[in-house]
């Protein structure tokens, strides 16, 4: 495997972050600031850099390399697989500007792949209005829970206005890109970890619909949430990223962390990043910088421990909520990962609106929030 990385900002041209080497038919991952990705010249620019590449774009809440984390830039990671192959498929959850079924979209997307020797699928999905829970359920249904799928819901800094993605075209809304990896010697491992701690009483969801939470213990959910936040409730919905919900439903083995993406004052409800079922048990969560950094270190150690070979590429997907907590110390969680996986491993990734991966030790992927998700790849 060979890799090349470059960076660009609004005020600077492309700068090589790695040794400039020639690549043949590379997979080119382009993560970065949504405004910069909306520039009509961006596709032509990356094509000039890698004229025989296959290009996957995704907007981020900050792009990640071993050298920096930046939400005002675009990062290119170009990968030449020497023993493996990749196939890219797409779907779009917008049809005549209307939201369509996330479950069927996910199912049909994965069904496009030839399943023979398919080792891994990495997802770069729109993150503004997708129902990530239903998307992952649909993808699992297409594989009978027997394919490793990891990935990210794209971000838009802390604006939550619009996310964009694409394959070999200008980035656009509603797009989901799936990268399928094939190869006999391909070694892919993953891990997730959060570092968030529940606090306060556990409550029962007494009214919800899909990803909208209306009532907890027969009381308006938003009123209860504001009560716990106190003065910080004036900063909603942004403040909600610092106080996600731990959700345990009766049909899940493990608890899921759910970010509150928005609030509806008129309905006294909260819009979550994924489904929340009635009769689920929920609890508020909080964290600090040290816990988040430690969780990233643990995720890297867990992903490394189940490998047969040294990783050549590490794709990191971390949640924007973690970035807001880390603030000026945001690089620390990436530094901990590098310490574990080794400085010779190419590091790329993004801060996201949602992370896609199974729980450790499982195969069926889930939508997660507030986690560090690490995918390690080698040939």
How crowded is residue 339: how many other Cβ atoms within 10 Å of its Cβ? 13
Partners of 269 in the β-ladder: 264
State the average pLDDT over residues 352-359: 95
DSSP string, 252-272: -SS-EEE-EEEEETTTTEEEE
User: What is the percentage of the chain residues whose pLDDT exceeds 70?
Assistant: 98
pLDDT tens digits for range 45-81: 999 999 999 999 999 999 999 999 999 999 999 999 9
State the average pLDDT over residues 335-363: 95
pLDDT tens digits for range 286-340: 999 999 999 999 999 999 999 989 999 999 999 999 998 999 999 999 999 999 9
* Per-residue 3-state assignment (H helix, E strand, C coil) for 207-254: EEECCEEEEECCEEHHHHHHHHHHHHHHHCCHHHHHCCEEEECCCCCC
pLDDT band at 185 (very low <50, low <70, confident <90, very high): very high
Is residue 367 within 8 Å of residue 353, measured between CB atoms?
no
pLDDT band at 251 (very low <50, low <70, confident <90, very high): low
Name the pTM for this structure. Answer: 0.93
Cα dihedral 351, 354, 360, 362 in deg (nearest 10): -140
* CATH tag for 197-285 (out of 1.10.1060, 1.20.120, 1.10.287, 2.40.10): 2.40.10
Which residues, 6 or more positions from 266, have their beta carbon under 8 angstroms from its beta carbon?
none
pLDDT band at 223 (very low <50, low <70, confident <90, very high): very high
Take residue 349 and report the two structure tokens written for it: 């990734």
Q: Which residue has the higher pLDDT, 192 or 249?
A: 192
Burial of 52 (0-12, 13-18, 19+ CB in 10 A): exposed
pLDDT at 98: 58
pLDDT at 99: 61
Q: What CA–CA distance (Å, rounded) separates 141 from 119?
A: 17
Q: What values do phi and psi take at 239, rounded to 5?
A: -60, -25
Burial 262-277 (b: 16+ CB within 10 A, else e): ebeeeebbbbbbbbbe
pLDDT band at 113 (very low <50, low <70, confident <90, very high): very high
pLDDT exceeds cutoff 60 at 96: no
- Show me where the domains of the chain are located: 2-192+290-378, 197-285
* Per-residue 3-state assignment (H helix, E strand, C coil) for 360-371: CCCCCCEEECCC
Average pLDDT value over all residues in the chain? 93
């Amino acid at each position: 495997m060979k890799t090349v990385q470059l960076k660009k900002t609004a005020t600077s041209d492309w700068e090589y972050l790695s040794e400039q080497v020639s690549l043949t038919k590379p997979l080119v991952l382009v993560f970065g600031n949504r405004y910069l990705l909306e520039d009509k010249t961006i596709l032509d620019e990356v094509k000039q850099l890698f004229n025989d590449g296959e290009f996957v774009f995704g907007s981020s809440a900050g792009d990640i390399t071993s050298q920096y984390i930046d939400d005002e830039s675009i990062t290119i990671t170009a990968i030449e697989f020497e023993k493996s192959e990749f196939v890219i498929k797409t779907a779009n959850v917008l049809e005549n500007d209307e939201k369509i079924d996330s479950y069927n979209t996910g199912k049909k997307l994965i069904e496009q792949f030839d399943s023979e020797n398919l080792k891994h699928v990495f997802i770069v999905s729109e993150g503004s209005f997708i129902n990530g829970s239903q998307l992952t359920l649909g993808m699992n249904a297409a594989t009978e829970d027997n394919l490793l799928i990891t990935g990210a819901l794209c971000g838009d800094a802390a604006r939550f206005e619009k996310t964009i993605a694409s394959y070999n075209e200008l980035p656009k809304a509603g797009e989901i890109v799936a990268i399928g990896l094939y190869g006999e010697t391909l070694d892919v491992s993953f891990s997730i970890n959060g570092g968030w701690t529940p606090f306060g009483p556990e409550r029962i969801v007494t009214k919800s619909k899909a990803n909208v939470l209306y009532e907890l213990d027969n009381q308006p959910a938003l009123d209860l949430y504001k009560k716990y936040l106190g003065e910080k409730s004036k900063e909603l919905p942004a403040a909600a990223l610092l106080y996600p919900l731990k959700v345990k439903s009766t049909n899940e083995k493990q608890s899921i962390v759910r970010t509150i993406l928005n609030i509806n004052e008129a309905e006294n409800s909260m819009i979550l990043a994924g489904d929340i079922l009635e009769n689920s048990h929920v609890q508020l969560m909080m964290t600090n910088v040290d816990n988040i950094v430690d969780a990233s270190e643990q995720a890297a150690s867990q992903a490394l421990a189940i490998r047969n070979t040294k990783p050549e590429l590490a794709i990191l997907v971390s949640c924007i909520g973690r970035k807001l907590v880390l603030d000026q110390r945001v690089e620390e969680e990436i530094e901990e990962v590098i310490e574990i996986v080794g400085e010779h491993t190419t590091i790329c990734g993004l801060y996201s609106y949602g992370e896609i991966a199974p729980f450790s030790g499982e195969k069926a992927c889930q939508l997660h929030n507030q986690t560090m998700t690490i995918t390690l790849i080698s040939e």
